[in-house]
């Protein structure tokens, strides 16, 4: 894998946001999703080299509460907090314009950032984007129910971490989850407070999708148990410049489960629609 350069920035509220980067060229910011142990590098490890080789500067922030970034307790983890802190860090890092690649919560952050700072976003690649329905609608999804865990407690162990990661993917792919990925995410999860998940607050941005004029590429797994594939229709119906692709026998992690295809299609989109 390409060597990752590390940086950390102090942002409003006294928090620190860590990010890694590789490559050079037009900036592509990868925004990871939620869940115990998530981080920029671990969520997109199978995509970094392909984008670097295609001539892009890959930026991998760790969201507040995740990776090597600050993990405050006793606060609500709102979509605006995620968005404002990562945007602050990106601007300090010298990024003035970028394509945004977001999975799940990261997709919601990409949408909010684009609505707040339309001049910053050149285009969007969204994999099972969240925040396009009421928060309660997600909590009835079967994948969310399976995420009930002793995360944050003394009994949280590697086996539990592996179960949580395996829930993100289609059963056919679950045996391919490596021990290295589980260990990497477990090391992060042990440092996270429960507030990261139990006090996460996200709005429904679907009424505002029509405000986004940038080109959008939506990718979704047909068997996603966290963010229903039917939500792809929201983008097709409401956005001005959008295309979508659905993968069969694929869960919540298109960029992992279908890494080679994701890399091919997403890079082609950025090459033709502009990064």
Q: Which residues are catalytic?
A: 252
Q: Are 275 and 122 in contact (CB under 8 A)?
A: yes
Which residues are within 8 A (CB) of 96 and not within 5 positions of it... i.e. 6 or more apart?
Answer: 120
Question: How many C-alpha atoms does 166 have within 13 Å on its Cβ side?
Answer: 14
Q: What is each CA distance from 225 to 62, 201, 253, in whole angstroms?
A: 24, 20, 11
In angstroms, rounded to a whole number, what is the distance separating the alpha carbons of residues 119 and 122? Answer: 8
Strand, helix or coil for residue 99: strand
264: left (phi over 0), alpha (psi -120 to 50) or beta: alpha
DSSP for 58-82 reads EEEEPPTTSTTS---SSS-EEHHHH
DSSP for 151-183 reads TTSTT--HHHHHHHHHTTS-TTTGGG--HHHHH
Output the six-digit token pair for 218. Answer: 């939506």
Q: How many CB atoms lie within 10 A of CB 237?
A: 11
Q: Where are the alpha helices (DSSP H) in the chain?
A: 40-44, 48-53, 79-92, 105-116, 135-139, 142-146, 158-166, 179-189, 195-198, 232-238, 254-257, 259-273
């Amino acid at each position: 894998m390409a060597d990752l350069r590390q940086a950390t920035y102090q942002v409003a509220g006294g928090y620190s946001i860590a990010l890694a980067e590789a490559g050079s060229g037009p900036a592509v910011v990868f925004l990871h999703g939620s869940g115990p142990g998530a981080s920029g590098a671990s969520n997109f490890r199978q995509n970094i080299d392909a984008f670097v080789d295609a001539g892009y500067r890959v930026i991998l922030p760790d969201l507040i509460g995740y990776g090597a970034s600050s993990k405050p307790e006793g606060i609500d983890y709102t979509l605006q907090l995620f968005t404002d802190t990562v945007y602050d860090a990106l601007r300090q890092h010298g990024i003035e314009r970028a394509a945004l690649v977001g999975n799940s919560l990261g997709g919601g952050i990409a949408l909010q950032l684009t609505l707040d700072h339309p001049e910053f976003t050149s285009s969007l690649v969204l994999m099972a984007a969240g925040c396009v329905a009421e928060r309660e609608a997600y909590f009835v999804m079967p994948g969310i129910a399976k995420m009930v865990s002793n995360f944050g407690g003394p009994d949280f162990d590697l086996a539990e971490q592996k179960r949580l990661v395996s829930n993100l993917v289609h059963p056919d792919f679950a045996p391919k989850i490596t021990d290295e990925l589980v260990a990497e995410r477990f090391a992060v999860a042990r440092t996270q407070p429960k507030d990261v998940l139990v006090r996460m607050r996200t709005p429904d941005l679907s009424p505002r999708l029509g405000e986004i004029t940038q080109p959008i590429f939506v990718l979704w797994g047909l068997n996603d148990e966290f963010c229903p594939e039917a939500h792809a229709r929201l983008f097709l119906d409401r956005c001005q410049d959008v295309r979508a692709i659905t993968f069969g026998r694929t869960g919540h992690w298109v960029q992992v489960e279908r890494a080679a295809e994701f890399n091919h299609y997403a890079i082609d989109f950025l090459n033709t629609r502009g990064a």
